Amino acid sequence: MSVLPDELRTRLVNWWVAAAVTDGVDPDQKPDTVPVAGTAVLKMFVTYNNVHTSAGSATLVRVPINAIFDDEGHLATPYPKGHPQEGRPMYRGVVLHVTDDPNASVQDYTWSIETKFNKVGDVQVQIPTFSFLLPYAEEPLNLADVAPTPATPGYGLPQSEAAALRSAESSAESAASAEESKQAALEAKQVSNSVRSDADAGNFDGLSAYQVWLGLGHTGTEAEFMNWLKGPQGDPGNATLRVDSTVGERVYVSAGATEKLLSSTTFMRDVASLLTANVTVGTDGFARMIRESNRATLLLKNVTFTGAATSNFFLTGYPIGFRPTAITARVPVYMNSSGTTNLTGVTIRYAERDMGIINRTATPTFGDQYSITQISWLTTDAWPTAAALAALPVVP
């Protein structure tokens, strides 16, 4: 049996698996640990890989690598078949071909490990098959640092690719030098390629971006990984918001000494007290008014004329802050008259500060149980004061 040429890079993989069990009779008062026995099969993701050395080129075909867990629960390489100690641990750990060997045609692939553990008492121990990157490094890779756990299910494919993209963008903006930017982008590409390869092969097993990051040789907590993805803190903005709730609500935004009004509303107000004596408000009816920015709106429902036909005006005046601009306008509206809906007109008079119906000949009604009449106009009045609206309560 021949060995790999020294030019092909390898790395030792370790793993210790133990079960935490009820504390036994011993000096401490802590749960005991029991080594977990069993076997493992490690597989290279690619079915074969071409390698190139000074001795020539060759094709390495993927064959499962068998391993065991020794009497203390450590992953170990067993003695081969036919050896007097066949099946017993030969040495701790398993030596594998690294996934970023420059002498190999295919790089940035993954290894997977499938375990089969013996029972601990009456409990069947299970760890799902998972994949991992194996970049070259002098120190061994501890699978306990990259094995997924139920508490950290990891990212799916879209989230991992998005995280990799954010990593590349943030690194490009914040790296202290061009070399650091290049290295960060390369590692981000490896994260994305690893996740995509698993998904394309139908073997995606939930390996998180954090675990892949650890597999690339990084160390740190998940919080440190998230900080690694981020760029530098940007400059604080200088815009501030101010809310004036004296009358209704006005929201301003300011940048330095300049302040701009974003939105304003008086909230809906009950103006039934401003109706003339020749109109009545029926069941479920109302008369309400609201100002938003420089637009005022009157809303009427089930408001009916009851006086003589010559009594056209129905609004005695406008609150200060709602008065129309210096014009007399006519607004077409639909009104109900004896069960029929007709198009008529409403006059908004500036000089008299009132509102009425044009050429009323019947006893029409603004709105009914199914509809609301809405009449709007522009105003150049200053924002109303609390005193001006004291008799016009806010409608909940």
- Mean pLDDT, consecutive 10-residue segments, the chain of 396 residues? 75 92 78 89 87 83 90 93 92 92 86 92 88 91 85 53 65 62 74 69 68 87 86 74 91 84 92 82 87 89 70 72 71 52 58 58 64 80 89 87
Our count of domains for the chain comes to 3
**What are the C-alpha distances in Å from 30 to residues 21, 43, 144?**
9, 37, 22
Same domain, 60 and 166: no
Domain presence at residue 2: no
Token pair 């590349």: residue: 168
Residues 65 and 171 in one domain: no
Looking at the fold, whether 101 and 21 belong to one and the same domain comes out as yes
Query: Domain check: are 278 and 218 in the same one?
Result: no
Within this chain, do residues 37 and 103 fall inside the same structural domain, yes or no?
yes
Give the pLDDT of residue 152.
Answer: 46
CA-closest candidate to residue 284, choices 300, 308, 268, 297: 300
Determine, yes or no, domain membership for 4.
Answer: no
Read off the pTM. 0.40
For residues 32 and 133, membership in a common domain is answered with yes
In a domain, 291, yes or no: yes
Domain residue limits at 55: 10-145
Whether residues 221 and 346 fall in one domain: no
pLDDT of residue 46: 83
Q: Buried (b) or exposed (e) across 51-88, using 16+ Cβ within 10 A?
A: beeeeeeeebeeeebebbbbeebbbbbbbeeeeeeeee
**123 and 41, same structural domain?**
yes
Looking at the domain assignment, is residue 311 inside a domain?
A: yes
Instruction: Output the pLDDT for position 334.
Output: 52
Kindly report the CATH number assigned to the domain that includes residue 289.
2.60.40.2460
Cα 165 from Cα 172, distance rounded (Å): 11
For residue 176, tell me if it sits in a domain: yes
Angle at 17 between CA 15 and CA 23, to 5 degrees: 145
